[in-house]
Structure 1
Amino acid sequence: MRLSVEPAGRTEYGPGVVAELPGFVESLGHIRVFVVTDRGLRVTGIVERVEKILATAGIEHTVHEDVGPNPSTAELDRGAAALRSFGDAVVVALGGGSALDAAKGISLLAGNPGAAAADADRLWDAGDGLPLIAVPTTAGTGAETNGFGVTEDVCARRKVYIGHSSVRPRIAVLDPELTLGLPARVTAATGLDALVHGIESLASRGSTPFSAAYATQAVTLVGRWLPMAYRDGADLEARSGLMLGAHLAGHALTQSGLGLVHGIGHALTAHTGTPHGVALAAVLEEVMAFSATAAAEAYEATARALHVPGPDWATAAIEAVREISGAIEIKRPLRELGVTRDDIPAIAADAVADAVTKNAPRLPSETEVAELLRSVH
């Protein structure tokens, strides 16, 4: 077997490490910062904290806060226009997965005058975007580990992948203090996303020994610390372990790709606006059961990582995942997420067409996905 692994980039991890942000900016040869964040983060005090850190160091900066929960192509275009107007700078992506994904698209578009987010399919071979530092404030998406993001084409009602190697964050700043006090429902949704990243990376057709190493440790860390962080949002040890696990899961998925859980999740979110992690939780155990015969080794690795016994490893893994979902109170039937039975065929079609589904260990038909969706309706 021949393997080629791209260097992972620089990671700075630990409580309080965000205070060193000015030095990270200067290490990239810049003295100006364009912060991309979401509309709701300022009320937490985190945006003001970062602004103060930059201002105290004398770093010129501006904050762009026009990013929603599922960033649209229009939001990316507006952000790119604002960044072009601001001029050459390091882009600091501050927030959850939506802010980090949006920042990558904004950085890439700003580096390619005339480009628009609707050109996403052609931008993979475009010119470089501006350098990016990622500062996640949730523990789940792993978006700080890769150079692509997901944006929503509202007109087409579908998710679009936008990215380029140049917008993979040069530095990931992982400060678990920024996740203290995160609402329990957000902790659950983002943490469940990280768990799925680990499990699907293990089962993916693109899995390698490198991605499996990241994924196995990620499943162990997230499985242990997610329920604790959910129960007590002020538990810094649990927040730290969960953030590290989510980061490792991001490295895993970047190398291996994902699978059907994410294919369905993307379709559910596009059709109903359901938060990503909640959409994944709705079908996780059912997809694992559907894939079990084709993912026996992966689910054995999952069960072992979660410290549950065999010898029926697939059943043990599924039951362990069901227990975690129960502990964080996240699983909902599709009808509670706004899905009607008439919606199911279109959601199934979109899930099968999603690029991530091609990595699934057992490739589904639209009929099979529709049957699965009806079973959890």
Structure 2
Amino acid sequence: MAGPVNGFTVEATCALEFGPGAVARVPALVDGLGRAAAFVVTDAGLRATGIVDRVVGDLTAAGLWTEVFDGIGPNPSTTAVEHGATALRAFGSCVVVAIGGGSVLDAAKGIALLATHHGARATDDLWSSPVAGLPLIAVPTTAGTGAETNGFGVVEDTCAKRKVYLGHASVRPRVAVLDPELTVGLPPAATAATGFDALVHGVESLASRGANPVSDAAAAQAVALVGRWLPVAVDDGTDLEARAQLLLGAHLAGQALTVSGLGLVHGIAHAVTAHTGTPHGVALASVNEQVMRWSAGAAAEAYARAGAALGTADAVAGTAALVEGIRVRRPLHELGVDRGLLPVLAAAAVVDPVTANAPRTPTEDDVREILDAAW
């Protein structure tokens, strides 16, 4: 006999523009949101490639006022977000156009929100605020975070050495512009790290306590796409089909996690990154296999779906083989983690909000054992 039918609610995410050359549509999208100006948020490295100046040129040619804030770095800080918000507030009413990887997209959401909240800090909880942030268009240049699908960002409180969540429904991007041509220049190591982030999003979404049939469908397709095309993109960064499929897989993984939430791999990785500055995808890869093995009993059905999507009967072994193939895994001690830091990381991971979604609830001792195995 069939079990009870469980209800759920899923909010629609952003509109989607996908395909080579899609970035050329940004001026029309800004105009379609009823604004005459665009505030571009990016990082200095990406700006140096010419991609940002090309978009700014298109915006200016369309008669739109523009300004660029390129003060976002890897693992963006609350200070950078606050500086960006001050600059945006001075610029005035506009559409925020975020061009970059997950760090830029996350920071841009915080900037768009804080700009309308005078006196607020990036560490404040503004999720229930009655004041909306400015509208946002997201142009990801990496295939990993899926940050274009949701209204929150993860930024670093450098004083407290912890990750904080900043967001509001109003700063969920109105449009995501997925142009695979913008990801072609990404080096192999960065492709591997960001792509592995997308894979973990898919697997953890399948295993999350918040999963439902909608998130499962997106997550399974994401795992299949990323598992198939990530090694190709790492080996040949000019393969446009690989870049396109990987970008779409990362977006679907973002759709899934927005519904389901993530889990312990991300909870630990957030702590590792906050204390060592390790790139997010590398931090994930350092502990993913150990967390999956620890979770396997509670996540058996989810891992069976993940394995099927990867084309293997053993999702843990299949994921571990992919990690080795793209050369992204490093033990914790190589990331600057000494043994004295392990209890601190364990304590931070247990209280990280994403850990509450894990299929098996960990104690600090459990996480310490996982960290010992990954060290």
- Assess same fold via TM > 0.5: yes
Q: Alignment partner for residue 308 of structure 2, among 300, 304, 315?
A: 304
In 2, Cα distance between equivalents of 1:278 and 1:189: 6
TM-score normalized with structure 2 length: 0.97
In 1, Cα distance between equivalents of 2:353 and 2:127: 17
Corresponding residue of 2:40:
35
Q: Alignment partner for residue 194 of structure 1, among 173, 192, 198?
A: 198
Q: Alignment partner for residue 154 of structure 2, among 123, 144, 150?
A: 150
Corresponding residue of 1:313:
none
Pick closer, same or farther for the CA change 1:80–1:25 going to 2, 3 Å: same
- 1:123 Cα shift? 4.3
- 1:51 Cα shift? 1.3
Structure 1 window deviating more from structure 2 (351-360 vs 43-52): it is 43-52
In 2, Cα distance between equivalents of 1:188 and 1:77: 30
Does residue 249 (structure 1) correspond to residue 253 (structure 2)? The answer is yes
**Aligned structure 1 segments of 4 or more residues deviating by more than 6 angstroms:** none
The residue identity in structure 1 corresponding to 2:200 is: V
Corresponding residue of 1:269:
273
Corresponding residue of 1:52:
57
| Alpha-carbon displacement from aligned partner over 1:89-134 (angstroms, at most 9, x marks no partner) | 0000110000000000000001112212121x24443410000000
Does residue 237 (structure 1) correspond to residue 214 (structure 2)? The answer is no
| Alpha-carbon displacement from aligned partner over 1:160-197 (angstroms, at most 9, x marks no partner) | 00000000000000000000020111101100000000
Does the CA-based 8 Å contact 2:126-2:168 persist in structure 1?
A: no
In 2, Cα distance between equivalents of 1:137 and 1:9: 17
Does the CA-based 8 Å contact 1:135-1:174 persist in structure 2?
A: yes
Aligned pairs for 1:97-136 (under 5 A) are 97-119=102-124, 121-136=125-140
Does residue 18 (structure 1) correspond to residue 23 (structure 2)? The answer is yes
Corresponding residue of 1:78:
83
- 1:360 Cα shift? 0.2
Does the CA-based 8 Å contact 1:112-1:126 persist in structure 2?
A: no
In 2, Cα distance between equivalents of 1:55 and 1:229: 33
Corresponding residue of 1:374:
372
Q: Alignment partner for residue 8 of structure 1, among 1, 4, 13?
A: 13
The residue identity in structure 2 corresponding to 1:322 is: A
- 1:370 Cα shift? 0.7
The residue identity in structure 2 corresponding to 1:201 is: S
Does the CA-based 8 Å contact 2:44-2:72 persist in structure 1?
A: yes
In 2, Cα distance between equivalents of 1:72 and 1:127: 23
Corresponding residue of 1:285:
289
Does residue 62 (structure 1) correspond to residue 62 (structure 2)? The answer is no
Corresponding residue of 2:340:
342
Structure 1 window deviating more from structure 2 (164-173 vs 365-374): it is 365-374
TM-score normalized with structure 1 length: 0.97
In 2, Cα distance between equivalents of 1:233 and 1:307: 23
| Alpha-carbon displacement from aligned partner over 1:309-330 (angstroms, at most 9, x marks no partner) | x3xxxxx111110111011100
In 2, Cα distance between equivalents of 1:118 and 1:260: 23
In 1, Cα distance between equivalents of 2:88 and 2:47: 20
Percent sequence identity is 62
Alignment RMSD (CA, Å): 0.8
Does the CA-based 8 Å contact 2:153-2:166 persist in structure 1?
A: yes
Does the CA-based 8 Å contact 1:124-1:162 persist in structure 2?
A: no
The residue identity in structure 1 corresponding to 2:358 is: A
In 2, Cα distance between equivalents of 1:285 and 1:89: 44
SS at match of 1:117: coil
Corresponding residue of 2:3:
none
- 1:362 Cα shift? 0.5
Corresponding residue of 1:218:
222
SS at match of 2:346: helix
In 2, Cα distance between equivalents of 1:118 and 1:196: 26
Which sections of structure 2, spanning at least 5 residues, go unmatched?
Answer: 1-5
The residue identity in structure 2 corresponding to 1:176 is: P
Which sections of structure 1, spanning at least 5 residues, go unmatched?
Answer: 311-315
Does the CA-based 8 Å contact 2:123-2:166 persist in structure 1?
A: no
- 1:219 Cα shift? 0.2
In 2, Cα distance between equivalents of 1:39 and 1:349: 34
Does the CA-based 8 Å contact 1:107-1:132 persist in structure 2?
A: yes
- 1:43 Cα shift? 1.9
SS at match of 1:302: helix
SS at match of 1:210: helix
SS at match of 2:297: helix
- 1:42 Cα shift? 1.4
In 2, Cα distance between equivalents of 1:235 and 1:125: 44
